[in-house]
Amino acid sequence: MSQRIGFIGTRFAGTDGVSLESAKWAEVLWHHQHVSYWYGGKLDRSPDISMEVPHAYFGHPDNVWINERVFGKRKRSRDVTQRIFAIAEYLKDTLYQFVERFDIDILIVENALCIPMNIPLGVAITHFIAETGFNTIAHHHDFYWERDRFSVNAVGDILSMAFPPSLPSIQHVTINSFANQELSHRRGESSLLVPNVLNFEAPPPQPDDYSREFRRDIGLEPDDIIFLQPTRVVPRKGIEHSIALVSQLKNPKCKLVVSHEAGDEGHDYMMALMDMAEQENVDLRFISTKVGDIRTVREGGERTYTLADAYQQADFITYPSIYEGFGNALLEAFYYRKPVLVNRYSIYVADIEPLGAKVITMNGYITRDIVKQVQRTIEDAAFREEMVEHNYELGRRFYSYSVLRRKLRSLITNFTGADDL
């Protein structure tokens, strides 16, 4: 029996990990006749199947105002408390409207009950579920206790209540083994571990005439060697290590291209990277304005590209993240058959490395040996081909849609009592 699934989050738009992963869940559910609807503060879904509520977006001025007064502080004022719960009450009303408008059967909450970017939304969802007993899958990508920026706060009571809540109608989903264990230790809540996935059963399309214009449109020559950093520009992504790598290669044809925008943590880091690249004589390019969800040709003939186009045209992927909840960019490198440098962040060490991935690894800094390995990977086609084919097969076995399909079948069946997937 098909179910009407309501996805809830602060944002379903762009190329951030939560937006991309939720779309994959919806795709797998859709293939089995389940229909998806969307609720969020910033959406790029069709208005026919979605409900956009500006206050649900973490970047709304009211939410920014709240966050400025509760993080990095030990106590909050009375007016902050009043505003949190006033907005939460309003958002709860919109949740009732969303469920009624689309006749929702099951809710899937994407990251809004674990990372307190929008505190009123987390409170609203928690109160809604508590009042209705609604069947809910809480898909947790990042917990607040994993981020230093939330460690000092004046909302400990609210975080304990809503991030995440402990309610009988919620099934919790975590994306890595550490989060799975920590949720159990901190909240006494069990969770199903569902890794991030890609559709490895359907290989990526070959480059076409459109994607072949990518290099020229970002100002590169056909024989330039593109080192793609497919991440947002935030400190935990370790982009300074990518600059150090390209600098030590001492090859003017090597260019470092960063695909995403600065995100929600300001632009100081980007400015520091630009200064570093200038000092190290590294050609660094930020191209977020040229990368989007779909290909478009703007007025005047300016083309924009998808992240897939960027991967197809890249020669090497840099992924020196200090911390990751999972590591979508690593899976994408496997999927597009590109060699990759990985900083051995904890989730990689615990969940991915034991599977036998063939990547170039670093332990917090670039060494001469790493530079030599990268040089060999670029120059030795047979060595590179064996590496990327091995990783593609690993992705197909452990991180494909078939894995997600089995996990979602279990979650949906727990609610319906029937094997609906």
Tokens 């909450």: give the residue.
Answer: 109
- Indicate the average pLDDT of the chain: 94
Q: Give the pLDDT of residue 323.
A: 86
Query: How far is the C-alpha of 229 from the C-alpha of 38, rounded, in Å?
Result: 30
Q: Give the pLDDT of residue 33.
A: 81
Beta bridge partners of 202: none
Query: How far is the C-alpha of 292 from the C-alpha of 224, rounded, in Å?
Result: 23
| Band of residue 325 on the pLDDT scale cut at 50, 70, 90 | confident
Q: Is the peptide bond preceding residue 164 cis, with omega within 30 degrees of 0? A: yes
Tokens 């309003």: give the residue.
Answer: 90
Q: What is the pLDDT of residues 174-188, one digit of tens each?
A: 999 999 999 999 999
Query: How far is the C-alpha of 43 from the C-alpha of 263, rounded, in Å?
Result: 16
pTM, full prediction: 0.86
Work out the average pLDDT over 14-19.
Answer: 81
* Closest-CA residue to 120 (of 67, 43, 176, 197): 67
Q: Give the pLDDT of residue 263.
A: 64
Q: What is the pLDDT of residues 200-228, one digit of tens each?
A: 999 998 899 999 999 999 999 999 999 99
Work out the average pLDDT over 50-54.
Answer: 98
Q: What is the pLDDT of residues 104-152, one digit of tens each?
A: 999 999 999 999 999 999 999 999 999 999 999 999 999 999 988 999 9
Buried b (16+ CB within 10 A) or exposed e, 144-161: bebeeebeebbbeebbeb
Counting residues of the chain whose pLDDT is more than 70, the rounded percentage is: 98
Q: Which of 15-19, 90-94, 104-108, 147-151 has the lowest mean pLDDT?
A: 15-19
Counting residues of the chain whose pLDDT is more than 90, the rounded percentage is: 86
Q: Which strands sit side by side in the sheet containing 254-258, from one edge to the other? A: 284-286, 254-258, 225-229, 316-319, 340-343, 360-362
Query: How far is the C-alpha of 128 from the C-alpha of 96, rounded, in Å?
Result: 8
| pLDDT above 90 for 389 | yes
- β-strands 303-306, 296-297: how paired? antiparallel
| Band of residue 293 on the pLDDT scale cut at 50, 70, 90 | confident
Q: Which of 62-76, 239-253, 407-421 has the lowest mean pLDDT?
A: 407-421
| pLDDT above 90 for 81 | yes
Neighbours of 209 (CB within 10 A): 6
Query: How far is the C-alpha of 243 from the C-alpha of 258, rounded, in Å?
Result: 11
Work out the average pLDDT over 381-393.
Answer: 97
Task: Output the DSSP codes for 146-172.
Answer: G-GGGTSBS-HHHHHHHSS---TTEEE
Q: Give the pLDDT of residue 14.
A: 77
Q: Give the pLDDT of residue 421.
A: 57
Strand ranges for 301-410 from DSSP E: 303-306, 316-319, 340-343, 360-362
Q: How many residues does the chain have?
A: 421
Long-range CB contacts (within 8 A, 24+) of 239-244: 239/269, 239/273, 239/320, 240/272, 240/273, 240/276, 241/318, 241/320, 241/343, 241/362, 241/365, 241/366, 242/318, 242/320, 242/341, 243/273, 243/276, 243/277, 243/280, 243/282, 243/284, 244/280, 244/365, 244/366
Q: Give the pLDDT of residue 324.
A: 87
| pLDDT above 90 for 17 | no
Domains and CATH numbers, the chain: 4-197+401-416 (3.40.50.2000), 211-398 (3.40.50.2000)
Q: Give the pLDDT of residue 265.
A: 62
| pLDDT above 60 for 339 | yes
Residue 43 tokens, joined:
């959406």
| Band of residue 327 on the pLDDT scale cut at 50, 70, 90 | confident
Rounded to whole angstroms, what are the CA distances from 63 to 40, 73, 113, 116, 412?
Answer: 14, 16, 15, 10, 33
Query: How far is the C-alpha of 94 from the C-alpha of 333, rounded, in Å?
Result: 39
Q: Give the pLDDT of residue 266.
A: 66
Any alpha helices (H) in 52-118, and if so which ranges? 61-70, 78-102
Work out the average pLDDT over 338-345.
Answer: 97
